[in-house]
A and B are shown apart, each in its own frame.
Chain A
Amino acid sequence: KQEVTQIPAALSVPEGENLVLNCSFTDSAIYNLQWFRQDPGKGLTSLLLIQSSQREQTSGRLNASLDKSSGRSTLYIAASQPGDSATYLCAVIRSNYKLTFGKGTLLTVNP
């Protein structure tokens, strides 16, 4: 059974700092991996999708990497801003196209 773990569970940083969120998964036989952002009481916003054949994806200040063999992904956020405060969810897509989510990292960026 696929399990997804996100570390840390919560992170508080000052504005402008670069930061890394970690995601690990137990079964390396994944199809894709996605990073999402969720604001309180809201749905999910997709940030980056990395296909299993790729090693990283970049969008603006965000960079996500994937190492399938070790079962790890990281989300790097450069020059963090208060507006980046949210819960960040990592999810792996299995061969049956179902998503398994981690519990998320609650990020707070302090002005």
Chain B
Amino acid sequence: GAVVSQHPSWVICKSGTSVKIECRSLDFQATTMFWYRQFPKQSLMLMATSNEGSKATYEQGVEKDKFLINHASLTLSTLTVTSAHPEDSSFYICSATRLGDPAYEQYFGPGTRLTVT
């Protein structure tokens, strides 16, 4: 149990366009979903935290108008990178915590590789 999927697994887009990444908890209801970004040979950096039906909370330095997060249900969160630029090229990973889990363990998706040309 506790499987998280992401779609697409990789995407190439042109500079100036927008791209949407989906994160789904397949076999559990997620209290909270997190979005991370990982640059080559770097660790994961938390971008934002989202709860179903609420506005996302963004980490310092992350532009909320550029990285739009929607958490429409207990199993789905989306990250939209608006007006993408080459510097937005990165590996985006989501995670989710299971409703009712006292350990608040995060389960991670397989990641989405975004390349902006």
The finding on whether chains A and B are genuine partners in a shared complex, rather than unrelated, reads yes
Name A residues whose Cβ lies closer than 8 Å to a Cβ of B. Answer: 31-32, 34, 36, 41-46, 49, 51, 89, 93, 97-104
CA distance A70 to B72 in the complex (A): 42
- Given A51-B103, A97-B32, A98-B46, is A42 in contact with B97 using a C-beta cutoff of 8 Å? no
- Given A98-B49, A101-B44, is A42 in contact with B111 using a C-beta cutoff of 8 Å? yes
Residue B54 at the A interface, CB < 8 A? Answer: no
A46–B104 touching, CB < 8 Å:
no
- Given A103-B42, A104-B43, is A43 in contact with B111 using a C-beta cutoff of 8 Å? yes
Q: What residues on B are CB-neighbors of A36 within 8 Å?
A: 108
Interface of B is mostly: strand
Q: Size class of B's contact patch?
A: 20 to 34
B104–A97 touching, CB < 8 Å:
yes
Name B residues whose Cβ lies closer than 8 Å to a Cβ of A. Answer: 6, 32, 34, 42-46, 49, 91, 93, 95, 97, 103-111, 113
A43–B43 touching, CB < 8 Å:
no
A31–B93 touching, CB < 8 Å:
no
- Given A97-B32, A101-B43, is A46 in contact with B105 using a C-beta cutoff of 8 Å? yes
- If A89-B44, A97-B32, A99-B46 are given as contacts, then 5 extra A-B residue pairs at C-beta distance below 8 Å, sorted by A number, are A46-B108, A49-B103, A98-B46, A101-B43, A103-B43
Specify the chain B residue showing the minimal Cβ separation from A98.
B46
B103–A32 touching, CB < 8 Å:
yes
CA distance A44 to B110 in the complex (A): 7
Q: What residues on A are CB-neighbors of B6 within 8 Å?
A: 43
Q: Select B109's contact among A41, A43, A49, A104, beta carbons within 8 Å.
A: A43
Specify the chain A residue showing the minimal Cβ separation from B93.
A43
Specify the chain B residue showing the minimal Cβ separation from A104.
B43
Shortest beta-carbon distance from A34 to chain B in Å: 7
Q: List 21 A-B contacts (CB under 8 A).
A: A32-B103, A41-B91, A41-B111, A43-B6, A43-B109, A43-B110, A44-B93, A44-B95, A44-B108, A45-B108, A46-B106, A49-B105, A89-B43, A97-B32, A97-B104, A98-B46, A99-B44, A99-B46, A99-B106, A101-B45, A103-B43
Shortest beta-carbon distance from A50 to chain B in Å: 10
